Structure 1
Amino acid sequence: MILNKYELVYILRPDVTESQNLSLINYYKRMLKKHGAQNILIQYKGRRHLSYNIEHYYDGIYVQVDYEGNGLLVETIEKLMRFDEYILRYLTTKKITIFML
């Protein structure tokens, strides 16, 4: 099975506590592993000002996750995030590899 490289960035509500924040990060890491993701790298970007308001919030907590997986995994994780009340926005992008000759 060929695994593609993906980058997932999601924004958490700024009013989540530190313990909720860590539990959410660990929850999504476990879900990625459970559904077959490999080489998971999580980067906590911290609280940042939003360019525009999202649901009356001016700030958000950014988290970036790089992993390898398939398209079904992306669909599953995004479905989980869609119904999570603590996540304001999420975006998954597929990384492409360019070979130079």
Structure 2
Amino acid sequence: MSTKYETMYILRPDLTDEIIDQTITRYQTLLAEQGAAPVETQHRGKRRLAYELKKFKEGIYVQMNYDAPTTAVAELEKAFRLSEEVIRFLTVREED
């Protein structure tokens, strides 16, 4: 059974545009492979953080909305934890 989720993650501000695009594509592909559909991604751009995270004062925000099984979310969050590009992430289940 699929559930609607929204994931917001913050990338390091020192990444190049090419690496940012590759990273976003990697996570979209990961979700698609895990059975998520459709994956809507919004690149929110570089913004100032409310407080310093891992010695960064800015971050590149990316938001994804998708329908997916719980296992897909677990795999995505595991990939976020292992990634050096992601400095913070949050996934919430959307109410119907």
Q: Give the TM-score of the pair, scaled to structure 1.
A: 0.93
SS of 1:29's partner is helix
> Counterpart of 2:65 in structure 1: which amino acid?
D
Task: Write out aligned runs for 1:48-87 (5 A).
Answer: 48-87=47-86
- Aligned-partner residue type, residue 95 of structure 1: E
Alpha-carbon separation, structure 1, partners of 2:75 and 2:91: 12
Q: Structure 1 CA distance, aligned partners of 2:19 and 2:35? A: 24
Aligned sequence identity (%): 35
Distance between the aligned counterparts of 1:45 and 1:32, measured in 2? 19
Q: Mark the runs of 5 or more structure 1 residues left unpaired by the alignment.
A: none
Look up the match of 1:36. Answer: 35
Relative to the length of structure 2, the TM-score reads: 0.98
The list of structure 1 runs, each at least 4 consecutive aligned residues, that deviate by more than 2 angstroms after superposition, is none
**In 1, distance between residues paired with 2:13 and 2:65?**
22
Aligned-partner Cα distance in 2 for 1:11–1:17: 14
Matches within 5 A, 1:14-25: 14-25=13-24
- SS of the equivalent of 2:51 reads strand
Matching residue of 2:10: 11
